[in-house]
Amino acid sequence: MTQSYAEIYKRSLEDPEGYWGEAAAGLHWHKPWDRVLDSSNPPFYRWFAGAECNTCYNAIDRHVEGGRADQPALIYDSPITGAQRTFTYRELRDAVAAFAGVLKARGIGKGDRVIVYMPMIPEAAIAMLAIARLGAIHSVVFGGFAANELAVRIEDAGPKAIVSASCGIEPGRIIPYKPLLDEAIELSSHKPDFCIVYQREQVTADLVPGRDEDWEEAVAGAAPADCVPVAATDPLYILYTSGTTGQPKGVIRDNGGHMVALHWSMKNIYGVEPGEAFWAASDVGWVVGHSYIVYAPLLHGNTTILFEGKPVGTPDAGVFWRVISEHNVKVLFTAPTAFRAIKQQDPNGDLIGNYDLSGMRYLFLAGERADPDTIQWAARQLNVPVIDHWWQTETGWSICANPAGIELLPVKLGSPTLPMPGWDMRVLDENQQQVAPGEVGALVAKLPLPPSCLPNLWNAEARFLESYLEEYPGHYKTGDAGFIDEDGYVFVMTRTDDVINVAGHRLSTGGMEEVLADHPDVAECAVIGVADAMKGQIPFGFLVLNAGVARDNGEIVGEVVGMVRQRIGPVAAFKSAVVVPRLPKTRSGKILRGTMQKIADDESWKMPATIDDPAILDEITEALQSAGYAKGA
């Protein structure tokens, strides 16, 4: 008998070991677990303690052996280059085993870190899976980050090897990756033993003799490597994410819990059956790409689409519909910003009519708050349920969603619906008291968290405890604020830290401030996220110059914009700043970024009681108006 969401959710909280133990049965374990959940050392919890498994085996080999050898596993569709390639599960297994052989022959084994800095080509997924095959740990760095950000990650992860490609391709320009990689290695005190570089036909990279090797040549001489069983609690990957300071946090993902939660989610949340095509239009450099381009669809025996392009301009706002109809995609998962971009260019959805989308079942959105306008537009145009779901790099899968594969729950616009199994969500005030339904506070989850969530931060246990577990003892702090209504629906309103979401990309304003502060003429600065019709938010900077600086302000702004692009990367989309005489602060010296953001976005705001000098806010308003914001102020 099929169970309702309410029954499943209740059981998951009352009997987590029974619930997730049963969910784990659909996967292959080299050795069974001693405990489904090891709670012996709170606040550290470990799922499937004592078990041994291999994520790559479960994602690929298991399906080759189980009858899916000739089914497409991965379809690469690249409107930006015009290329398309399909890998069956057998072909993907062979490519992954061969590349694992390359790494193994060069000394990579269990627990070694390997950084992957690649564009959206199949070799990126092949590298990730090959690293997992050997029980090594991958750390994928998004291609839109600059050399300095890559260097910070090399320094922290200490990789034995780096896998890269000769270039990435953005509309209208080719980005040679190799100079960025060389510069990053130069900047980092840790040096990898070797690099493997995939040469794309658009650009050939110069290889450093003795350190760099050509991917194709290395694979040609490789003996395939087999899957290495690892402890379920061993790390599968480290993914760096923004928050609180310019130093990114290395979120660790385990093997066992991750496999179980992701495998479970494909049927129960996304409502797809093995064999069907699933498309997450994201990038392997983000958590959505890790979970829903690479691991979850493969763990579940689906066909995954790896798309190298943009929702608009490659070549037009109809490309999503072309991909869905051509590959018979049942479920599309992307960020609301992609739909805002499409809607802007094709407001009446005229291009949709050119394609057969009758096979499409659901559209899932995540990565940023889904605005009701975008949801309603998409639902009208596509005639399928549009499901907002909320999750984070730290969790690897949804905290809240509408579980289409269990039952479609009534939708409340602005809410990602209800908590998924294992998520015991609360809203707490600053005194750690639960607030009444509808009241805004910190969104936290009662421990233990369900499988797949971060067990720790790489090399930073104290920061892990401080960032997530200490402020609300016994709970995980999501870093989001919001409320839960009388029906239990969760509403995610805003971040409580310095994270902003730019086109679905998570960035730290603190990290940008560190860059601005390095400009020789800048005495003080602040960066806030201001509302943007397409990207959701974009960063905006305020600069206070050193006394006596008499240079042209526009020149200085141009220089800091260039510095952020150079040090963080184009993905930061930092394009505007203004020079102001002073910054508004509390009497204790805290910059009032929240108030500045509300003024910029024309939201209602109250004069903070602790403000040092209220007149400064007039200067800020004027500066924002000169930049086109705070129009109603």
When computed from its CA atoms, the radius of gyration of the chain, rounded to whole angstroms, is 24
Minimum distance, C-beta of residue 146 to ligand COA, in the bound complex (Å): 9
319/484 with CB nearer ligand COA: 319
Minimum distance, C-beta of residue 582 to ligand AMP, in the bound complex (Å): 30
**Could you write out the DSSP letters of every residue in 160-181?**
SEEEEESEEEETTEEEESHHHH
Q: Which residues in 130-150 are b (16+ Cβ under 10 Å) and which e?
A: bbbbbbbbbbbbbbbbbbbbb
194/390 with CB nearer ligand AMP: 390
Provide the pairing of β-strand 441-446 with 425-428: antiparallel
Residue list 80-109, contact with ligand AMP (CB under 6 A):
none
Q: Find out whether 72 and 85 touch, Cβ atoms under 8 Å.
A: no
Rounding to the nearest 10 degrees, give the CA dihedral for residues 591, 596, 597, 598.
Answer: 130
Tokens matching residue 126:
């092949």
Q: Binding to ligand COA by residue 570, rule CB under 6 A?
A: yes
What's the order of all strands across the beta sheet hosting 329-334? 83-88, 72-78, 303-307, 277-280, 329-334, 362-365, 386-388
Tokens matching residue 533:
């019709």
Q: Binding to ligand COA by residue 184, rule CB under 6 A?
A: no
Tokens matching residue 343:
């809607």
Q: Binding to ligand AMP by residue 374, rule CB under 6 A?
A: no
Binding segment for ligand COA (CB under 6 A), chosen from 82-90, 283-291, 352-360, 374-382, is 283-291
Q: Binding-site residue total for ligand COA (CB under 6 A)?
A: 25
289/419 with CB nearer ligand COA: 289
103/443 with CB nearer ligand AMP: 443
C-alpha to C-alpha distance for 288 and 609, rounded to whole angstroms: 41
Judged by CB under 6 A, the residue of 250, 285, 416, 569 near ligand AMP is 416
Tokens matching residue 115:
């950084």
Name the residue among 309, 316, 375 with its Cα closest to residue 342.
316
Rounding to the nearest 10 degrees, give the CA dihedral for residues 146, 149, 152, 155.
Answer: -40
Residue 170 interface partner, choices ligand COA, ligand AMP, none, CB cut-off 5-8 Å depending on type:
ligand COA
Q: Binding to ligand AMP by residue 424, rule CB under 6 A?
A: no
Position 569, amino acid? G
Judged by CB under 6 A, the residue of 115, 329, 571, 599 near ligand COA is 571
Q: Binding to ligand COA by residue 288, rule CB under 6 A?
A: yes
167/409 with CB nearer ligand COA: 167
> CA separation (Å) from 258 to 47, 48, 128, 167, 454?
9, 10, 15, 31, 9
Judged by CB under 6 A, the residue of 126, 370, 409, 444 near ligand AMP is 370
**Contact flags string 350-389 toward ligand COA, x per CB under 6 A:** -----------------x----------------------
Minimum distance, C-beta of residue 13 to ligand COA, in the bound complex (Å): 28
C-alpha to C-alpha distance for 145 and 221, rounded to whole angstroms: 32
Q: Binding to ligand COA by residue 335, rule CB under 6 A?
A: yes
Q: Binding to ligand AMP by residue 393, rule CB under 6 A?
A: yes
570, with CB counted inside 10 A (0-12, 13-18, 19+), is middle
Q: Find out whether 47 and 451 touch, Cβ atoms under 8 Å.
A: yes
Binding segment for ligand AMP (CB under 6 A), chosen from 196-204, 226-234, 254-262, 360-368, is 360-368
Q: Binding to ligand AMP by residue 501, rule CB under 6 A?
A: yes
C-alpha to C-alpha distance for 534 and 243, rounded to whole angstroms: 23
Judged by CB under 6 A, the residue of 29, 87, 286, 542 near ligand COA is 286
C-alpha to C-alpha distance for 23 and 452, rounded to whole angstroms: 13
419, with CB counted inside 10 A (0-12, 13-18, 19+), is buried
212/283 with CB nearer ligand AMP: 283
Q: Binding to ligand AMP by residue 249, rule CB under 6 A?
A: no
Q: Binding to ligand AMP by residue 62, rule CB under 6 A?
A: no
197/341 with CB nearer ligand COA: 341
Binding segment for ligand AMP (CB under 6 A), chosen from 83-91, 179-187, 363-371, 431-439, is 363-371
Binding segment for ligand COA (CB under 6 A), chosen from 110-118, 200-208, 331-339, 413-421, is 331-339
Q: Is 333 helix (H, G, I), strand (E, B) or coil?
A: strand
Residue list 296-325, contact with ligand COA (CB under 6 A):
310-312
Q: Find out whether 539 and 572 touch, Cβ atoms under 8 Å.
A: yes
Residue list 111-130, contact with ligand COA (CB under 6 A):
119
Binding segment for ligand AMP (CB under 6 A), chosen from 139-147, 390-398, 448-456, 570-578, is 390-398
310/495 with CB nearer ligand AMP: 495
Residues 6 or more apart from 10 whose CB is under 8 A from it? none
Q: Binding-site residue total for ligand AMP (CB under 6 A)?
A: 21
Judged by CB under 6 A, the residue of 104, 153, 263, 389 near ligand AMP is 389
Residue 510 interface partner, choices ligand COA, ligand AMP, none, CB cut-off 5-8 Å depending on type:
none
CA atoms lying within 13 Å on the CB side of residue 304 = 31
124/427 with CB nearer ligand COA: 124
Q: What residues make contact with ligand COA under the rule CB under 6 A?
A: 119, 143-144, 168, 170, 175, 282-283, 286, 288, 310-312, 334-335, 337-338, 341, 367, 503-505, 570-571, 573
Q: What residues make contact with ligand AMP under the rule CB under 6 A?
A: 241, 287, 366-370, 388-393, 416, 478-480, 492, 495, 501, 506
